[in-house]
């Protein structure tokens, strides 16, 4: 099982699709398009920030816990399905979710009680995964690291209204905080091998040569882990070199 991590706009969905197509495996995408809670969450953030600015220090986002449990449930379902095959790929996974809930609790968007209940639910799901997959952790975690500037450019390009700084200027602080939490998450992550992809250096979305470089990096790591045969890697590498000439 391969999981892809990264901040909003880092290119997780694109890389998930590229890698699944390359390996002939199944991609599992983050539930965004069919997520009725996500726009409500962003609106709830805006309302909560205005209330705090007006003096209500205890104002929370009423949709935070709902959003996080929605994601947790969907990702749990996807992980159970992905565990049934080899080298299936998840666009974000259950292993990042606790970071988002912790950040929203620190921000005051969720209560300490909600965070506690969420943690208990997550622990139970992780325990259940042990019975589905011999080891509850992925075989490879790929983290796409991008700067704030790259993050914002890609958010603007994909055009989801509720993610735009023009819609909610308060998202500047939220996005910068998210990058700091990802830095801490990266340092603490120890459940599986972790491969870092420099999303500022390699534009695998637009640049074919960068795309080949990133795919080579990932596939070489899979060979090192015994999850991809060397001759298959050589074949894939040759096929891609022919298409970019």
Q: Please check if 85 is assigned to a binding site.
A: no
Q: Please check if 155 is assigned to a binding site.
A: yes
Active-site entry in 34, 56, 58, 91: 91
| Distance spanning both ends of the chain, measured CA to CA | 32
3-state secondary structure of 170: coil
Q: Please check if 156 is assigned to a binding site.
A: yes
56 catalytic? Reply is no
Q: Please check if 132 is assigned to a binding site.
A: no
Q: Please check if 58 is assigned to a binding site.
A: no
**Residue 27: strand pairing partners:** 89
Q: Please check if 11 is assigned to a binding site.
A: yes
- Alpha carbon distance 153, 113 (integer Å): 36
20 contacts 89 by C-beta, under 8 angstroms: yes
25 contacts 8 by C-beta, under 8 angstroms: no
Q: Please check if 84 is assigned to a binding site.
A: no
Q: Please check if 16 is assigned to a binding site.
A: no
Q: Please classify residue 229 by burial: count the beta carbons closer than 10 Å to its beta carbon, then call 0-12 exposed, 13-18 middle and 19+ buried.
A: exposed
Q: Please check if 14 is assigned to a binding site.
A: yes
Render 147-182 in DSSP notation, one character per residue.
-HHHHHHHHHHH--GGG-TTT-TTHHHHHHHHHHHH
Active site residues: 91
Residues at the annotated binding site?
6-14, 30, 42, 68, 92, 97, 154-158, 163
Residues at the annotated binding site for substrate?
30, 42, 68, 92, 97, 163
Residues at the annotated binding site for ATP?
6-14, 154-158
């Amino acid at each position: 099982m391969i999981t892809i991590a990264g901040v909003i706009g880092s290119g997780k969905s694109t890389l998930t699709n590229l890698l699944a197509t390359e390996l002939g495996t199944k991609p599992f995408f983050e539930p965004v398009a069919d997520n009725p809670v996500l726009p409500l969450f962003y609106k709830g953030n805006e309302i909560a920030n205005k209330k705090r600015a007006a003096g209500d220090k205890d104002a929370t986002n009423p949709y935070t816990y709902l959003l996080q449990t929605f994601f947790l449930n969907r990702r749990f379902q996807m992980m159970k399905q992905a565990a049934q095959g080899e080298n299936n790929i998840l666009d974000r996974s259950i292993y990042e979710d606790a970071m988002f809930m912790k950040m929203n609790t620190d921000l005051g968007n969720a209560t300490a009680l909600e965070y506690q209940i969420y943690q208990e639910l997550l622990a139970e799901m992780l325990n259940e995964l042990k019975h589905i997959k011999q080891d509850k952790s992925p075989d490879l975690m790929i983290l796409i690291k991008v700067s704030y500037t790259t993050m914002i450019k890609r958010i603007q390009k994909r055009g989801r209204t509720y993610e735009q700084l023009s819609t909610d200027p308060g998202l500047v602080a939220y996005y910068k905080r998210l990058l700091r939490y990802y830095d801490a998450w990266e340092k603490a992550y120890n459940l599986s091998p972790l491969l870092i992809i420099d999303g500022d250096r390699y534009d695998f979305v637009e640049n074919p040569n960068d795309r080949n470089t990133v795919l080579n990096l990932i596939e070489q790591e899979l060979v090192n882990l015994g999850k991809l045969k060397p001759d298959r890697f050589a074949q894939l590498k040759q096929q891609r070199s022919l298409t970019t000439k």
